[in-house]
Amino acid sequence: MVQYLQIASRARTELIDITAQVGELVRKSGVSSGVCHLFSLHSTGAITINEGADPAVRSVISRFLSSLVPVDGPFSHGEGNSDAHVKTSLVGPSETVIIEGGRILLGTWQAIFFCEFDGPRTRKVAVRISADD
């Protein structure tokens, strides 16, 4: 069964911590051992796992991607969001997290982020939780 997280971004580029929401879906599923697949349903929004303890890390990632792929780069896509498409391709639309003991298995400092590259918008992330057989 697929469930959906709805995420409201407030800026053009923003890394939004969705760890608690994903953890709650896993808890409610009752699955004690398995995997949780996360997939962004947008071509200008990605999913990543990185450090969540220091908010500066989000800013570092965002600034680096913006310097690597500037908004005013030499793009031919007419909507003005070509940089967002490229950033999404670089980061990727999905992540898979192990479930163990009824909880998502992340490292001490890790968190799950929705990466907004063309906001502000309302976004959807598909979540599929699968139990081990």
CATH number at residue 18: 2.60.120.460
In this structure, what token pair is assigned to residue 131? Answer: 């139990």
Helical axes 55-68 vs 82-91, angle rounded to 10°: 120
**Amino acid type, 14:** E
pLDDT score of 94: 98
- Spatial CA neighbour of 71 closest among 102, 79, 25, 94: 79
Count of domains for the chain = 1
Which domain does 10 fall in, by range?
A: 2-131
What pLDDT digit, counting tens, does each position of 15-39 carry? Answer: 999 999 999 999 999 999 999 999 9
CA distances from 74 to 20, 61, 81 (A): 38, 22, 12
Q: Give the model's pLDDT for residue 80.
A: 87
Tell me which residues of the chain have a pLDDT lower than 70.
Answer: none
